[in-house]
Structure formats: C-alpha cells, structure tokens
C-alpha cells in the first residue's frame, strides 16, 4: 500500500516523510489531486493557520477530493492543523469553514498559571471513554507522552473523541470515527510512541473495514 502525504504548502512534510521512511513505508508527497486514487491511505499534516490551510487546499483543488475521500470512509490521518480543519470552524479564522466532518468548533487554548500559549513540548494522551480499543493506540500505554505545538484545540468532539490531554483544562487530542482519524500532537516528533502510532495507522489502513 502506498501512502500519500498531502502537500498544500503548509504541512510539516519533511519530518512526516522521514518517519515514514524510518518505518519502511511506501509513500509519496503529492499536490495534484489526480494522484489520489493511487494511494491506499492519506496523511494530512499541518503547520500554520486554519484559514490559510483551507484556502490553500481550495487553491490546489484538494479540498473537494479530500472531502469525498473522507465521505467514502477511506483511511486518513490528520496531524496537528490536520486535525483542526476536520472541525466545522475555528476561533483562529472567524468565517472560514473547515471540512465539518467532526461536529465541533476549534477554540483557543486558555492561558493559565503554568500553561502558556502556545503549548510547546511533551504532554500525555489518555484514552477517551469508549475508545479503549482504538486501533491507532495498539501497544501504546495509556498516558504516553507525545510532542505538541499548538495554540488552538478541540474542547469537545461528540462521537469522535479517542484521546484526551490536560493543559489547563482538558481537550480532545485525538479523534477517530470509521477510517478517519486525527491527532493534535506530532507523532513524527514523538519518538517511540509516535512511531508506533504511525505504524498502527499503516497497519490499520491495510485491514479490512
């Protein structure tokens, strides 16, 4: 199976590609939507702003094919901003619309004593209630540490929450429903646990639905 890494001008492509290379995955960075049918799974990485991300996806003709891919329940993993754009909207870009597959709004992290914004560094992810058997977390101990860099988060994700993280308050750091999943942290920068999660995504993508 070949994995497509979506290039829309804002993704952290080098680190993601290096992690996939380390895992021995057949992968390709692509921008042309005509290439999508050649892939068995997609990774949507993201570094930047919500509005810019959606505008670039539209500009390169990727937004509608990605929406169709998710509607068909084909394997997709969003990373960081790639999680946030699955939601309906964001405090970061009033008026901009996300994909809306996750029925939620992205909010700015609330600064509090000991919790600066942006959150930059390692934090724990624990399984959300009902997500104990999440395939992306196979072999990963509950409460494992992952690397985060972000200023916005999903306070809730009805029907989608798979992982939770505490930073001031608690927010949803991982979502999944069907074959579509996303994480707020950067697995490609999260050492052993992150590589295991990426491997789990690759294995899960090849399993029968």
Q: Say if residues 12 and 45 touch (Cβ distance below 8 Å).
A: yes
For every residue of 127-158, DSSP letters joined together read EPTT-TT-GGGTT--TTEEEEEEESEEBS--T
92, 134, 150, 188: the active-site residue: 188
The reply to whether 188 belongs to the active site is yes
Question: For residue 46, is it left (φ>0), alpha (ψ between -120 and 50) or beta?
Answer: beta
The reply to whether 27 belongs to the active site is no
Q: Which two tokens stand for residue 80?
A: 């960081």
Q: How far is CA 31 from the centre of its chain?
A: 18
Q: Report the number of secondary-structure helices (H) and strands (E) in the chain.
A: 5, 12
Instruction: Give the integer Cα–Cα distance in Å for 6 and 78.
Output: 10
53, 80, 134, 153: the active-site residue: 80
The reply to whether 53 belongs to the active site is no
Residues annotated as part of the active site: 80, 186, 188
């Amino acid at each position: 199976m070949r994995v497509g890494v979506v290039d829309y001008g804002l993704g952290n492509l080098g680190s993601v590609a290096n992690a996939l290379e380390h895992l021995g995955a057949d992968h390709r960075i692509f921008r042309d939507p005509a290439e999508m049918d050649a892939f068995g799974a997609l990774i949507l990485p993201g570094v930047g702003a919500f509005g810019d991300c959606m505008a670039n996806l539209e500009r390169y003709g990727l937004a509608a094919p990605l929406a169709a891919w998710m509607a068909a329940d084909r394997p997709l993993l969003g990373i960081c901003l790639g999680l946030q754009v699955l939601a309906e909207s964001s405090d970061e870009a009033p008026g901009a619309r996300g994909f809306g597959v996750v029925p939620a709004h992205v909010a700015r992290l609330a600064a509090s004593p000991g919790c600066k914004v942006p959150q930059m560094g390692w934090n724990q992810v624990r399984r959300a209630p009902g997500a104990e058997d999440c395939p992306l977390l196979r072999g990963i101990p509950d409460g494992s540490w992952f690397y985060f860099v972000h200023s916005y988060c999903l306070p809730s994700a009805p029907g989608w929450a798979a992982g939770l993280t505490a930073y001031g308050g608690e927010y949803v750091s991982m979502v999944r429903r069907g074959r579509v999943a996303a994480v707020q942290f950067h697995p490609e920068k999260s050492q052993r646990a992150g590589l295991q999660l990426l491997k789990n995504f690759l294995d899960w993508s090849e399993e029968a639905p």
